[in-house]
Amino acid sequence: MFFFDYSYFLFLLILIPFMALSAWASAKVNSTYAKYDKVPNHSNMTGYDTAVRLLRKNGVHDITVNRVSGRLTDHYNPAKKQVNLSQSTFGSASVASVAVAAHEIGHVMQKKKGYIPYKVRTALVPAVNIGSRLALPLILIGMLLDIFLFAATGSMAGQIVMYVGIGLYSLSTLFMLVTLPVEFNASRRAKKMLASEGILTSEELESASKVLSAAAMTYVASMLISLVYFLRMLFVVLMSTRRRQ
């Protein structure tokens, strides 16, 4: 019992700062976007204009650019060949909107160029979707089986089920880890394209970089929280195994 109580205390001790980091990152990206969404870019290009121009300039003609509801809900859907820009990005000619739109085109270029981390992340999506639904139920079922079956028959089935659940949950952590280079790379591509096309001035590029950097911090925070939850679950299962031994 001591190990479980101690691990829970340690878990909270680590999780709370990471949750605070996540809240700060979310507030930072919103405040940074709001600040530079009020700054018009010198070329007077909207998010939509930017996305279309960068696609055509890079020889991409089979991707549509659409408007979706919400704020900062921008995303690239490779399955439907769509770049979806939020209402706050699509028709705005601000520095922030252009930066976000170019970031999504960065993802399009990753797919076109065969960027390895992007391919790995895409390949993980189906497994992560399944694992995120099954991981916790399997861990709980494994614990119940371990309590009843081990006591009655000495069976290790419960522990096997728990480790399967841990393995499935680890996919989510791996997905978040792979997401980091994907997002940072998309931002680098975005800034390079905006500079080469002259859509933003050097001063505006510095402002765009602040928007993209703030957005990247949300992925860092999410990865850290996912890692802490994974380590907590793994520790509980390992302590259960140690108790049996």
Say how many C-beta atoms besides its own lie within 10 A of residue 48's C-beta.
20
Q: Amino acid identity, residue 235?
A: F
Q: Are 211 and 35 in contact (CB under 8 A)?
A: no
CA 97/CA 207 separation, integer angstroms: 11
Residues 104, 197, 203, 204: which is the catalytic one? 104
CA 69/CA 78 separation, integer angstroms: 19
CA 127/CA 92 separation, integer angstroms: 37
CA 45/CA 78 separation, integer angstroms: 24
Q: Which candidate, 204, 235, 218, places its Cα nearest to that of 97?
A: 204
203 is catalytic: no
Q: What is the DSSP letter of 62?
A: S
CA 23/CA 29 separation, integer angstroms: 10
Q: Which helix (H) or strand (E) holds 91?
A: none
Provide the residue count of the chain: 245
Active site residues: 104
